[in-house]
Structure 1
Amino acid sequence: MFLGEDLLPYLVLAFGGALCVGNFLAVVKPPERQLDDDNLQRAPVGRSLLYAGIGLVAAIWALASLISG
């Protein structure tokens, strides 16, 4: 198989981790200045935490798949 047998779990781990960290940091540390009037000053907290949770579940699932074999 191209790039190894564990390509899909590695990709899910990478995307899940990025989804979790990116959305969590958007809530914890919003941008210091607003670029223009079209962008929000602060990320929607509920939606961002939901997406961070989904990313965390995906990353844990992928890590468990890689560890179990």
Structure 2
Amino acid sequence: MMWGMFLGEDLLAWLALALGGALCAGNLLAVVKPPAQTEEGHLERAPVGRSLLYAGLGFVVAAWALATLVAG
């Protein structure tokens, strides 16, 4: 039995869509809504530049995966 057929032919595209979407959403939420309370040794808010860079990278990965799934 081939693992590709068992898990689906588009498994890699679905995983890229999920991880890219999570990377984008998580970093945008970290910038928009920082935690109300911070523990000692933690940053009060996320670094904006790095978070926006990672959010953009996640968006590109998710968009690429979505285009791959739509194109067939």
TM-score norm. by structure 2 comes to: 0.92
Deviation at 1:60, TM superposition (A): 0.2
Distance 1:61 1:6 in 2: 13
**Which segments of 5 or more consecutive residues in structure 2 lack a partner in the other structure?**
none
TM-score (norm 1): 0.95
Separation in structure 1 between the aligned mates of residue 51 and residue 45 of structure 2, nearest angstrom: 11
Q: Secondary structure of the equivalent of 1:2?
A: helix
Structure 1 residue runs of 4 or more that deviate by more than 4 Å after TM superposition = none
Structure number with the higher helix fraction is 2
**In the alignment, is residue 53 of structure 1 matched against residue 56 of structure 2?**
yes
- Equivalent residue runs for 1:14-25 within 5 Å: 14-25=18-29
Max Rg structure: 2
Structure 1's unaligned 5+ residue stretches are none
